[in-house]
Amino acid sequence: MNTVRVDEQSYGRLTKLLHWGMALLIIVLVSVGTYMTGLDKSDPDRLQLMGMHKSFGVIFMQLAIFRLIWSRIKRSPPLPGVLASWERGLSRIVTASLYLLMLAIPFSGFAMTNFAGFPVSIFGLIEMPQLFDKNQEMAGLAKQAHGMLVYALIASIFMHIAGALKHRFLDAPEADVLPRMMPLKPRV
Ligand code: HEM
């Protein structure tokens, strides 16, 4: 099918949509998550934003699971042959961290909510299964993990972007991988 085709040079349309859509969701989830935790506990906005954060976070979790499966079905186009072996190794490590964190962060948020004694739903419309019983100690641990994993995600995203920009602007034109993920013409 044309919309999901991956050829030697580029990612398919569905992969690009997942990549950019989830990148946008990460920006929104991190910004709203940081903002809402700074609000006073009595502020009604805090509860409302938390509900939105949880709902979009659960949607993100489902997209991340789908994306992981999709990446096994539609393999990435091969890395340019001009890349050094350390660049290939680093690229694999950063990509693996991104996948791991995209699953671990929403999962820790889900676990924190259940451990704190609350169910998780998507906008109050779809109830998610209760995975964990109430346990305040575990809720505290999951909350710490949730915040710390976000720092690891930001560091991984930074390396991911730095790599893409290095290959585009500092390396040989054949090393440029940016056009594969966006409607950009390769550099000549
Ligand atoms: C990729 C997905 C997610 C990202 C990037 C994300 C990001 C964040 C961030 C940055 C914070 C603020 C942390 C702090 O400053 O201490 C936060 C807080 C929070 N998140 Fe998430 N989150 C995600 C998914 C979820 C999910 C799926 C849930 C629950 C179903 C959830 C529940 C919460 C809760 C309850 C808080 C407030 C914790 C507190 O009381 O301080 N998050 N999140």
pLDDT at 184: 61
Rg (CA), the chain: 19
Atom 31 in ligand 1: residue holding the nearest Cα: 109
> How far is 89 from 33, CA to CA, in rounded Å?
32
Q: Per residue in 94-117, is it b (16+ CB within 10 Å) or e — as a string?
A: beebbebbbbbbbbbbbbbbbbbe
- pLDDT, tens digit, 9 for 90 and up, residues 100-136: 999 999 999 999 999 999 999 999 999 999 999 999 9
pLDDT the model gives residue 188: 56
pLDDT score of 68: 97
pLDDT for 133-153, tens place per residue? 999 999 999 999 999 999 999
Q: Give me the helix-helix angle, 85-115 and 136-169, nearest 10°.
A: 150
Query: How confident is the model at residue 57, as a pLDDT?
Result: 98
Judge whether 36 and 147 are in contact, CB under 8 Å: no
At 164, the pLDDT band (50, 70, 90 cuts) reads very high
- Average pLDDT on 168-181 reads 92
Q: Which amino acid, 104? A: A
Rounded-to-10 torsion of CA 13, 14, 19, 22: 140
So where are the chain's domains?
Answer: 11-181
Task: Give me ligand 1 centre to Cα 146, in Å.
Answer: 6
> Residue 56 pLDDT more than 50?
yes
Share of the chain above pLDDT 90, in %: 87
Mean pLDDT of 9-24: 93
Residue 187 pLDDT exceeds 70: no
Whole-prediction pTM: 0.91
Interval 157-173 mean pLDDT: 95
Question: Per CATH, the architecture of 11-181 is what?
Answer: Up-down Bundle (1.20)
Ligand 1 neighbours by CB, cut-off 6 Å: 26, 29-30, 33-34, 37, 50, 53-54, 57-58, 60-61, 105-106, 109-110, 112-113, 120, 143, 146-147, 150
For residue 186, how far is its CA from the centre of ligand 1 (angstroms)? Answer: 38
Provide the 10 A C-beta neighbour count for residue 53. 20
